[in-house]
Amino acid sequence: MTIPPKTLISPEHQPSISRRKLLKDSANLALGAAALSLAHEMAVETSVAGTSNAPLGNGKVIDCHAHLTHHSRSTWEEDDRKLIEAADKLLIDQLCCSTLTPRRPATAEGFRECNTWTAEGMRRFPGRVLGYCYVNPGYGREALEEIRRCVEDRGFIGIKLYNEYTCTEPVVFPVVELAIELGVPILHHAGHSHYFMEDQPRISDGGHFAELAERYPEAMLICAHISGGGDWEWTVKALRHAPNVMLDTSGSVTDEGTVEMAVDVAGADRVVFGCDMSMTAGVGKIRGANLSSQDKQKILSGNMKRLFGRRKS
């Protein structure tokens, strides 16, 4: 087979391309490539709906762990407004908030003042801020009266306990029993450190919560910030067999796999979304988690709605 010789085009017959045309054609090619790339990304996003790359979704988002600012800080009003603005940007619909005293243990006067400010925050941001009643269980009758007033009269959704007492100390039991009576959850500060924390000698950990849960199986307990209080793997494992303890995803630690492990060990029905003021990190953990969209929606709001539904009238 004979291959015909190449046809040569003489220089004078070659088409000329101006610099302007070359730049214009290059720009059109670049725009076309960008459009194809965007279309591909949109197709991928659509095709993986319900997988680990799915966005937060269209359902409601409830942050189970947030704080309003103590009014001793001169910028408290601006700080609270910035919290709501951050929630707006991150598509968080509601924030379950408490106000804490700057120093602990809190006095009765101190926690009553904080709860008054939380109630004011609920009025300033109606439908956005849901209140936790913060108390120091050591004040006994005064703490119980404050809880009842906040839940029954002010519409608070739960109770916030900090580190004044380990949750297994008998002084805490009346608070748990009242929470059961009222049908509201307790969000309790927690952590499991590998060293003694001098400023928190009575901090509760997953083992304490498991013990309290066994004593009060009717209680609705939320173990705060599993990824913000030391050894989160230990905490998750310690709560494996405590079905009435929810695991709050908040915390400043952004180790990969925290949310996935919590779901693997405890189940998606026992994990609740929280930020504890680490807003973008809190959202990023859920958005990036290798979970189905159904499990993510349980974590983002479904499980908290279920707790709210157990409230006694």
pLDDT, averaged across the chain = 85
Gyration radius from the chain CA atoms: 27
Q: How confident is the model over 162-182, as a mean pLDDT?
A: 97
pTM comes to 0.81
What is the token pair recorded at 26? Answer: 């290059």
Per-residue pLDDT, 227 = 81
Residue 104 has pLDDT above 80, yes or no: yes
Question: At residue 11, does pLDDT exceed 80?
Answer: no
Q: What average pLDDT does this structure show over 205-232?
A: 92
Q: How far is CA 171 from CA 138, 151, 152, 207, in A?
A: 6, 20, 22, 18
Residues comprising the chain, all counted: 313
Average confidence (pLDDT) over 210-236: 92
Report the pLDDT averaged over residues 13-24: 48
Instruction: Indicate the CATH number of 62-308 among 3.40.1180.10, 3.20.20.140, 1.20.1440.230, 3.40.50.300.
Output: 3.20.20.140
Using CB atoms within 10 Å of the CB of residue 145, give its burial: 0 to 12 exposed, 13 to 18 middle, 19+ buried. middle
Contacts of residue 152, defined as CB under 8 A and 6 or more positions apart, other chains included, come to: 182
What digits encode the pLDDT tens for the residues 32-50? 444 333 333 333 333 333 4
- Percent of the chain past pLDDT 70, that is, above it, reads 79
* pLDDT tens string 258-287: 999 999 999 999 999 999 999 999 999 999
pLDDT at 194: 65
Residues 6+ apart with CB under 8 A from 5: none
Q: CA-to-CA distance for 64 and 157, rounded, in angstroms?
A: 10
pLDDT score for 195? 64
Q: Which residues, 6+ apart, have CB-to-CB distance to 108 below 8 Å?
A: 136, 139, 142, 143, 146
The C-alpha angle with vertex 301 and arms to 96 and 116, in degrees rounded to 5, equals: 15
230-234, 262-266, 292-296: range with lowest mean pLDDT: 230-234
* Three-class SS of the chain: CCCCCCCCCCHHHCCCCCHHHHHHHHHHHHHHHHHHHHHHHHHHHHHCCCCCCCCCCCCCCEEEEEECCCCCCCCHHHHHHHHHHHHHHCCCCEEEEECCCCCCCCCHHHHHHHHHHHHHHHHHCCCCEEEEEECCHHHCHHHHHHHHHHHHHCCCCEEEECCCCCCCCHHHHHHHHHHHHHCCCEEECECECCCCCCCCCCCECHHHHHHHHHHCCCCCEEECCCCCCECHHHHHHHCCCCCCEEEECCCCCCCCCHHHHHHHHHCHHHEECCCCCCHHHHHHHHHCCCCCHHHHHHHHHHHHHHHHCCCCC
Give residue limits of the domains in the chain.
20-47, 62-308
Stretch among 9-23, 181-195, 224-238, 266-280 having the lowest mean pLDDT: 9-23
* 203 has a pLDDT exceeding 50: yes
In whole angstroms, what is the distance from residue 224 CA to residue 119 CA?
A: 22
The average pLDDT across 68-82 equals 98
